[in-house]
Structure 1
Amino acid sequence: MNCSNLTSENHAVHLAQTFIYVPVFFTGIILNMLALRVFCCRLTKWTETRIYMTNLAITDCLFLFTLPFKLVYRTDHMDKLCIVLEAAYFINRYMSIFLITVIALDRYIAVRYPLQAKNVRSPLKSALVCGLFWILMISIVCISKYMNDEEDPGICFRSISRRPSVHSFAIVIWGFLIPLIILSFCSIQIIKKLTRKKNVDLHEEKLIQKAIKIILANMTTFIICFLPLHVAYFIQFIEFTDASCAKRKQNDLFLNVAAILANINCCLDAFCYYFVSKEFQEASIDLRTQHQVPENQDTEMV
């Protein structure tokens, strides 16, 4: 069955991408550059939270820089520039997912096991974790792209695997499902721990409620942004062989729309993580008043 003409994006999808990606690009760059300025220049002490947040902001910035190319790069020919840009696009998407998962796991350890956390957590270990993730993601994406491009050059800025294979299935499992399980488990356990606190005053109760709302907002944003995309990948994987051209066209449209939703996450991270952290808020006040933040005010985010 010849369905080769179904892989190209239709005009309506391209218009939607342009309408959404242009404001997302400018808003995301401003917010993430502001976050980087605060985390890299205004704080006096490198903490675990600061290291993870800085890496997340860098990841989101690098991802945002690929969006204009995704809009203008309309060729079906996978030249060298396209290969580099597409690799950066997927590396930073899944690097963002893994960093969000690690932030949740770091929160869980700090809240659930505060005494043991002193031995498990440290800025150096956080930096090593981030470095390991960068090496791992770059290696996996480059190897996957090389193996898939050898079989099928495909279309620029589409899914890493363009045919049903172990690679596309691994994206769903390792790139989303396992991080989702870890994120959900850690978030639920933290909420349980916070709600069980007794003999708290009114101020502390308000802080606990705020922390719970932040955790729920982070988890909800993660699910809304990334679940549809990986459902689309899974549908594409299981229906690739038997689906009719019309069905595959519907799946392809769903994949494009889900990708738009996932790509917005690089802008939403600023609200879900940077601007709700105490470190960022204290440094932002300092940035406005031009007074240096005392070292003892570097606090952890819940």
Structure 2
Amino acid sequence: MTQEVHQQLNCNNTSSELIFLTQALIYFPVFCIGVILNALALKIFCCNLSKWTETRVYMTNLAIADFLLLFTLPFKMAYKRNDVTTLCLVFESTYFINRYMSIFLITITAIDRYIAIKYPLKAKLIRSPLKSVVISGFLWALIISIVYVTKNFEKRASSGTCFRRISREPSMYVFASVIWGFFIPLTIFSFCSIQITKKLVKKKKTNPYEEKRIQKAINIIFANMSVFVICFLPIHLAYLIRFIADYTEASCTQIEKIDNFTNLAGIIANTNCCLDAICYYFVNKEFQEASMKLTTKYETQQKQSSEDQDFEII
């Protein structure tokens, strides 16, 4: 390896002050609002609803994943040291575990909804709250194991800082996370959402009395797809561009621009923690009623009277 190529292997780029200021301005409200909303969501999911459904199981796990990711954001901003410690890897691993747990939970929820609508008779045999618990547990175990193995084999202690790579060696782990962690789930999520929408559009034409309700369900699906793509597509495109840049030995100036784009895309991705929680409230009548009862619990102790129904969110 020539000296020129060797020098290109590491670029000591630092995030610009503008990037850091943007992170501070956005992460502070995201953290505060996200913690409050996700804590409220967990309170309602676990204590204020009488019937566990498949979607309720997935939404509870999604709220937990979002909640845990939020608590890594202050550390992500504060950790500026040039060494990778055990504590750093714990927070970094927690960050990525919960990001990809969110992606997979959103995808599995779409699959569950697709089965329920496309195959209603078979769905009674395939779906159950207990099976949803088992699937969620399997996803947690799978993603934790993958991240743990990745962090052990990356050997980052001498080639990076916390939440940032300095090494110019192309990382196959990053490439795998882009393909298996996003683009494959995106394909599945899009397929399920499109098929469900087609089914609902046909139903709306043949059932005019349910037109408003069906249109609301279609709007929810469209909103969920938009949030998923807007939040997670930029960051994974950034990872893919960085992989290509490392593979083609791009200049440090180019790497710095890619890293700045990655930081901005990461900010967008992390706002998903708030957007998920907002969806709980605005798209579901039952959740609204339960949350209203929490805010008035000191004035009245009325029992929950609204009938339970599956959440049609995310």
Could you state the TM-score of these two structures normalised by the residue count of structure 1? Answer: 0.93
Secondary structure, in 3 states, of the residue corresponding to 1:209? helix
Alignment of 1:103-114 (within 5 A): 103-114=109-120
User: Which residue number in structure 1 is paired with residue 308 of structure 2?
Assistant: 298
Alignment of 1:275-294 (within 5 A): 275-287=282-294, 288=296, 290-294=301-305
Deviations 1:102-145 (A, max 9, x none): 11111111111111110010000000010001001110001101
Secondary structure, in 3 states, of the residue corresponding to 1:297? coil
Distance 2:152 2:227 in 1: 32
RMSD: 2.0
Deviations 1:158-207 (A, max 9, x none): 369974132111011011000100110011011000000144244x2111
Q: Which runs of 5+ in 1 are unaligned?
A: none
Matched residue type, 2:304: V
User: Which residue number in structure 2 is paired with residue 171 of structure 1?
Assistant: 177
Secondary structure, in 3 states, of the residue corresponding to 2:227? helix
Matched residue type, 1:262: A
Aligned residues: 300
User: Which residue number in structure 2 is paired with residue 243 of structure 1?
Assistant: 250
Note if 1:11 corresponds to 2:21. no
Query: How far apart are residue 152 of structure 1 and its match?
Result: 4.6
Matched residue type, 1:77: D
Distance 2:29 2:166 in 1: 26
Give yes or no for contact 1:229–1:259 (8 Å, CA) kept in 2: yes
User: Which residue number in structure 2 is paired with residue 196 of structure 1?
Assistant: 202
Distance 2:125 2:158 in 1: 48
Question: 52, 71, 92: which is aligned to 1:86?
Answer: 92
User: Which residue number in structure 2 is paired with residue 64 of structure 1?
Assistant: 70
Distance 1:40 1:160 in 2: 42
Give yes or no for contact 1:32–1:270 (8 Å, CA) kept in 2: yes
Q: Which runs of 5+ in 2 are unaligned?
A: none
Question: 229, 235, 245: which is aligned to 1:229?
Answer: 235
Identical residues among aligned pairs (%): 58
Give yes or no for contact 1:278–1:299 (8 Å, CA) kept in 2: no
